[in-house]
Structure 1
């Protein structure tokens, strides 16, 4: 029987396996020979000491942090969850670096869109300092302290921010689907540095846009000495630019669609656009005659100057046959050729409304108004600044489809979750979300603390509940959306033998008899097993009884987990008859060595090949 690995996904080993698959010749005694790899890559290797790169103190450790495995886990908190049994959404409390590491195996290549609003590093933001040796323990200790801001007087002001952001963005890329996209809000303080690390992590070729967001109403802010600043940025990168699809938005100048014809039912109204154009690069293949209604040969020349048709000869012939070309005489009596630009795309059965590419400037979304709406939702002041729900809705709508998964690992007040529920309510679709937030304490003097919210996670979870009530109120009925969420909290591993602090996994007889840490439950262990296996945390789990023993059936019997002791061959055979794809036992759960030896053969006889012990 194979032992289940107690650590999270091994990124380094995965990279090595990929290199071995591409270049088997570089393997020397199970290790990568760098000199052979350099030869395999030919001339595409930078050898100069002076080269273009972006460096700072601690960058190497930041890269290693992104690669480091952890034995940390996420413990379920059913009592703080909403609709635990049915929801597909997650709310995770904890340091997002550790949470991303832990979730990585279960959600690798499954997230369509990431939106984050990280600390802008204004000198007042809290910037978490990671601990390479044991970040989970460091995190739990930090929760008991007052979290300190990254003051501008700090000698490594930008460095500390980069060391926080780099490993998180590096791991986040692994979550994205091949056609996935990430949006990152930022302002002038760290825009330049963020752009550089994103170019490195996601690739310059996968840069999509730098979206300008007008975040203030009226004349802009007075917090700058020389200019009234009224904008921030949203950097956008694709996992792979070749696979990315950004959906069009509603056409802004609808008033020009004024004409109609016999195709209006399928194509809607239209406007005319001249088919000849001088501004495009000249091509002889686009310089050909089109026959007018009077049999005259018409060329694309404009005022006797060389020009081109916008369409190829073949497309013009198609347009003439299908009613997309119109001829009209100008004031001088000369025939002009126009294409009909219909409002709808005619695909026969289901006409599609024409859209246009979204602008790289977002207007009409004020952070001040967003804070006021949040205040109305909570019936009291929560934050001075908040991200507008409608702005996030715009980003989600242009980059995701039904059933897509959205991740926000700087969740704050859960504006992203609110946006997704709003979209689902209006569209009848079902996007899912994962919110990750550090339970940073609220200021005891603040209004939000006086409202009863002791940390940011309290605010975020309540926001989701209040948002659902608001959506129902606006719809006049209960919206049929998934507004629940399963709450999980970051903690050290449940098993003593998996603890990173352990020097000897068999250090005491007591640990052998009772492998669970004090206060941990079987349910805690079940979810830790799911994470180590790489299974979605929203999968259904049923507690069943098989041959008198409690068994957790995961994913309608796909995986069985039995954490009982003194198991007999008869009991194991009854479990095998359920024909799961996988099954997990305690390492010391068998009645004796004979049972342990024969158990695998029984399981194999019933087609159960993946048998693990913990």
Structure 2
């Protein structure tokens, strides 16, 4: 390292040696140092001011300044990185990711994780209608995104400030606690529907996306075809219909879309014959489609 002029011995040549960092080796010309002064990365007063500009002032204690997180992002991410924050809080990280994308045209994505921690009933946040920290976090992302879009943006930025909110829950599938000897012929009808009664079509869709390993951020649209609600994920990545009484005419029409995957409710077919024929129809019309029933 000494031969490569990579060691510095201080201005007089007699100090404790340290490794040199050259700008040519540092991404975007930023050299990380141990101490970051507040005039470069902000302070608590600045972070509170940032929330005030979003009409969220006083709702969160000790938020981090955007400039601080943005400095970290410049050091450790590239333009296509995924940034994960397990303690979202007021979502300064999400705000910083969107702001940096707007500045350099990047396509960074963020994943914010926040427990539904309840706000103190005496707090300004609770008085403003926010029952949990997660609600403040989501609202900050919405308002920050709108503010960033209203300002100057890099010409190559896709201006994507959208996000999805997902919550951890139990399976959508109904729990069965009976052994075969406890089930009578008369009780079999109660076990036909294997999906919990309080689950929506969207709940089922996202479970299928997780089961199949499909990207949860892909665009989703909903169409009505032959009177049934049909979801299209990224056009043809996945097609899903969780309505009841599905007939062969609908199955044939969906097969002409030639999706990579298609999924139905196990009890959603008009008859057992339709259920059996569904896979054969796809084999004939769209043989590459993976067919599944849940």
TM-score by length of 1: 0.39
> How far apart are residue 468 of structure 1 and its match?
3.5
Deviation, structure 1 residue 538: 2.0
| 1:564 and 1:586 in contact (8 A); partners too | yes
Change (3 A) 1:423 1:572: same
CA contact (8 A) 2:107 2:158 kept: no
- 1:376 counterpart residue number: 52
Given the alignment of the two structures, is residue 418 of structure 1 paired with residue 92 of structure 2, yes or no? no
Highest Rg: 1 or 2?
A: 1
Q: In the alignment, is the contact (CA less than 8 A) between 1:344 and 1:354 conserved in 2?
A: no
In the alignment, what sits opposite 1:322?
A: none
In 2, the alpha carbon distance for the partners of 1:572 and 1:424 equals 42
For 1:483 and 1:552, locate their aligned partners in 2 and report how far apart those are by CA, in whole Å: 23
Does the 8 Å CA contact 1:367/1:386 hold for their aligned counterparts? no
Name the residue aligned to 1:445: 122
Report the secondary structure of 2:78's partner residue. Answer: coil
RMSD: 3.4
1:361 to 35, 50, 54: 35
Q: 1:456 to 1:576 in 2, by over 3 A?
A: same
Structure 1 pair 552–504 and aligned structure 2 pair: CA distance change class (3 A): farther
1:456 aligns with 2:107: no
Q: Distance in 1 between matches of 2:150 and 2:288?
A: 51
CA apart distance, 1:531: 1.8
Give TM-score, length-normalised by structure 2. 0.76
Aligned twin of 2:17: none
What is residue 132 of structure 1 aligned with on the other side?
none
2:213 pairs, out of 528, 534, 540, with 534
Cα distance change, pair 400–548 in 1 and its aligned pair in 2 (3 A)? same
Distance (whole Å) between structure 1 residues aligned to residue 269 and residue 28 of structure 2: 65
State the 1:401 CA deviation.
2.3
Q: Distance in 2 between matches of 1:466 and 1:540?
A: 22
Gaps of 5+ in 2: 7-21
Out of 265, 281, 287, which is 1:602 matched to? Answer: 281
Distance 1:487 1:389, change over 3 A: same
SS at match of 2:167: strand
Matched, 1:492 2:177: no
Q: Distance in 2 between matches of 1:487 and 1:449?
A: 21
- 1:584 deviates by 1.0
Aligned counterparts of 1:395 and 1:452: Cα–Cα separation in 2:
32
Change (3 A) 1:379 1:556: closer
Unaligned runs of 5+ in 1: 1-278, 281-307, 312-341, 346-351
> How far did residue 589 of structure 1 move?
2.4
Q: Is the 8 A contact 1:380 1:451 kept in 2?
A: no
Secondary structure of the corresponding residue to residue 113 of structure 2:
strand
Q: Which residue, out of 583, 604, 608, partners 2:262? A: 583
- Please state if 1:555 is matched with 2:231: no
